[in-house]
Amino acid sequence: MRTLNRNSTIIWYVEPASDTEYIDEDGFYTGEIIKNYSTPVKSTLNLYPANGVVVERLFGKDASLDMVAVSNLLDLSENALIFLTLPISDYETTCDYTVSRISKSLNSFSYGLRGSV
């Protein structure tokens, strides 16, 4: 029942692609890591508030989550970024949610989402 089309929300998501080291204007590595992401992909996802006994059973009592997403088809990776509006640039600061926990079952994926600050 949680994966009905009626309950789905249109989202855009980006997956972490690679990490590169930052080089300053003199050509030296600074030790700062810059994350690169894939291009945004439009999809649908069922979003629910992260409260109740079911969430505790899926992710544990210590999980500090803001939302739970359920999907039959969408296989996201951990640290994927989710947007409720079309992202333009600077994905890490403009994302709405980050996938922090994943629980796979026989027929679906449940994602624990943490809101961006």
Over range 79-102, report the average pLDDT: 91
Query: pTM for the complete prediction?
Result: 0.83
For 39, phi and psi rounded to 5 degrees? -75, 150
What is residue 5's three-state secondary structure?
A: helix
Over range 80-109, report the average pLDDT: 90
The confidence band for 14, taking pLDDT boundaries of 50, 70 and 90, is very high
The confidence band for 76, taking pLDDT boundaries of 50, 70 and 90, is very high
For 92, phi and psi rounded to 5 degrees? -65, -30
* DSSP-assigned letter for residue 76: P
How far apart are the C-alpha atoms of 11 and 83, rounded to whole Å? 6
Of residues 41 and 8, more confidence is placed in 41
How far apart are the C-alpha atoms of 112 and 95, rounded to whole Å? 15
**pLDDT tens for each residue of 29-69:** 888 888 889 999 999 999 888 887 777 888 887 778 888 99
Residue 11: exposed, middle, or buried by beta-carbon count in 10 A (0-12, 13-18, 19+)? buried
For the chain, list the domains and their CATH numbers. 5-115 (2.40.10)
Residue 38: exposed, middle, or buried by beta-carbon count in 10 A (0-12, 13-18, 19+)? middle
Dihedral sign of CA atoms 88, 90, 94, 97 in order: positive
Task: Check whether 106 has a pLDDT greater than 90.
Answer: no
Which residue has 């994926």 as its token pair?
A: 109
